[in-house]
Amino acid sequence: MAEIIEMPKLSDTMSVGTLVTWLKKEGDAVASGDMICEVETDKATMEVEAFADGVMLKHYVPEGGEIPVGAPMCAVGEKGEEAPAVESSAPAPEAKKEEKEEEEEAPKSAAPKDAPKPEGRKQEYVPEEKEAAPAKKSDGGRIKASPLAKKLAEEKGVPLEAIEGSGPGGRIVKKDVLAAAEKGVTAPAKSSSGSAAPVVVPSGAGIAEDEKIKVSNMRKAIATRLVESKTTVPHFYLETEVDAAALLKLRADINADLAELPPEKGGIKLTVNDFILKASAEALRRVPGVNCSWMGDHIQQHGSVHMAFGVAVPDGLVTPVIRDAQAKGLRQISAEAKELIGKARNKKLTPDEMSGSTFTVTNLGMFGVTGFYGIINPPNAAILSVGATIKKPVVDKNGNIVVGQRMAIGLSGDHRVIDGATGANFLQALQTVLETPALMLV
């Protein structure tokens, strides 16, 4: 008898998912434990496991469709068996809607070649084959193309300016891109000098096409959590400046000796963020009152430091967690951070790898941001914001003006849990560790 596989709850906050890809097509053999599809949750893209043996009889959800937790995803049974009928709860994916719209954009039917021409109209010879004309542009100078056509053109490496659109007003649609790709169009037409013809954008042209951008599950979750945090958690802010010269020298010395070695021989390349994570764990050891959470009727003191850190991905920001950071050395923290960053960018983080944090670090220094304050990641009591290290004139201990390397670090704190003095003590401890980085190695 056919088994219906329902949408599982893949994260603690998940209520709906988007089915990205079917890994098992209809008719494929399925064994219990096989991964049958990829689903985008509010936190990551994850694989769903089958719990039955047999053949994939039917997909109840198309690729790109949204599906609530507990709704039927597919049916698995014996070959030739009829799949049970279910009421679909997944709306049509945007890609399918776009294809339908594009079909409607194209002319309904072409007039037969031998169809009589209206009287009074000059008869002109039209060749069967002709070279692609330049893509027509809107009044603002932008190439007219549907969102799906743009996406396909990017995936297939076909320049839109080399495609002739068949849609209304010369708009490029899906079938135009596919036809161009089939013909091997991969670059703009060359000028007589052999160089690519420049695309001239008129002055005053828009920066992008007006369009509605679908909100991903991850972006919805980020929006909900940040609004909740900013409106329910009483934030306060502290900032200090760190002399980063010793830290940067130690990092350069370590990387000079170890960066070129293979991992099996102890090779490692440390980032500034690796030092920040390790230093934060050491500062929390000295000021454990920041490693707490507001629980409504009590404050929870956490005995271990589960360090979350921000990773930018196309849909927003995810915060993977390094467990027991207070018990790990710089090398181990660096290795785990790199592994988690790789998973985050490939949407392979598990819910366990993104939950249970007690403190969060967010670093925008690599983007040249000199200082900022992050929004607290509940139930953490604080978030550390790290800016870029910049060279600036400073007064040394002898009263001389010299070139210094300074890093601004900000702390956003939950005033229900920690007070200004506690936050200041933490920043002072962090400053001490960062300015004496050898403390991280013992």
Cα-based distances in Å from 356 to 61, 321, 369: 32, 8, 28
DSSP state of 40: E
Give me the residue label for tokens 């080399």: 162
Question: Following CA atoms 349, 339, 335, 367 in sequence, which dihedral angle do they give, to the nearest 10 degrees?
Answer: -100
Q: Is 427 helix (H, G, I), strand (E, B) or coil?
A: helix
Closest CA to 73 of 16, 111, 129: 16
Neighbours of 423 (CB within 10 A): 23
Q: Are 69 and 55 in contact (CB under 8 A)?
A: no
Q: Is 48 helix (H, G, I), strand (E, B) or coil?
A: strand
Q: CA torsion sign, 314 to 317 to 318 to 321?
A: positive
CA 438 to chain centre: 35
DSSP state of 93: P
CA 190 to chain centre: 36
Q: Are 410 and 384 in contact (CB under 8 A)?
A: yes
Cis amide leading into 288 (omega within 30): no
241, containing H or E segment:
strand 235-243
Rg (CA), the chain: 29
Q: Is 55 helix (H, G, I), strand (E, B) or coil?
A: strand
Of the residues 59, 298, 306, 415, only one is catalytic, namely 415
415 is catalytic: yes
DSSP state of 172: B
Closest CA to 100 of 109, 88, 92, 110: 92
- The first and second tokens of residue 28, run together, are 């494929």
Give catalytic residue positions: 415
